[in-house]
Amino acid sequence: MSEIKPSPESLVTYHRDGHVGFLTLNRPEKRNALHTKLWNALDEALELAENDHEARVFVLGGAGPSFCAGLDLSAENELLALAGAPAGAGQKVALFHEVKRLQAIHTRLDRLNRPTIAWIQRHCLGGGLELALCCDILLCSEDTVFAMPEAR
């Protein structure tokens, strides 16, 4: 079984302990805010999980004090750059395809063929809430805040 071991460069890690596979969002300095590179890393970790036949259950968590603060609104998020590109049919089609690709990663988590548990602490916002809702079971700390800020 391959692992993505924790390191400062790993945006998502995967390892197994016994029969439990752990997927961990690893941007604690940004409260695990989602950007294109993190979604890509999650997709890679999900592929490892799918191919790890020793794992009987998967736990999705976040490094640091928060599970996930939602969408990263900083300039380093390529999705926001695409959304902010000059308006036109090409820009809208490109944005649609990128959002559809990212949604497919959530669907991949939702359709894992073994039980999934979201291990949630503190912040579970926006896209992070969407990730948590792709899991079969949600376990959260007493101070967890769930919100969908973009719905306001």
Query: Catalytic pick from 29, 54, 76, 150?
Result: 150
Count CB-CB contacts under 10 A for residue 100. Answer: 9
Q: Is 150 a catalytic residue?
A: yes
Tokens of 120: 């949630």
Active site residue 54: no
> Which residues are the active-site residues?
130, 150
